[in-house]
């Protein structure tokens, strides 16, 4: 994610700005893929 690209955007409701991450983890002799998606709503 590039925070400087979203500096002036203030999401006011859900599903406007999302962030995602994919990681691969080695577990013994297998791979585990972890995917995380986060809704970036400011709750202040």
> Does residue 26 form part of some domain?
yes
pLDDT per residue as tens, the chain (44 positions) = 555 666 677 777 777 777 788 999 998 888 899 999 888 776 55
Q: How distant, in Å, are the alpha carbons of 4, 8, 20, 26 from that of 17? A: 14, 12, 10, 30
Is this structure's pTM higher than 0.85?
A: no
Task: Name the domain count of the chain.
Answer: 1
Quick one: pLDDT at residue 24?
92
Quick one: pLDDT at residue 22?
92
Place of tokens 């585990």: 32
Quick one: pLDDT at residue 35?
93
Q: How far apart are CA 9 and CA 13, in angstroms?
A: 12
Domain interval for residue 30: 3-39
> Does residue 44 form part of some domain?
no
């Amino acid at each position: 994610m590039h925070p400087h690209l979203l500096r002036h955007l203030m999401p006011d409701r859900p599903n406007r700005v999302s962030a995602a991450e994919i990681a691969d983890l080695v577990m013994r002799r297998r791979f585990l893929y972890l995917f995380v998606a986060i809704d970036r709503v400011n709750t202040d």
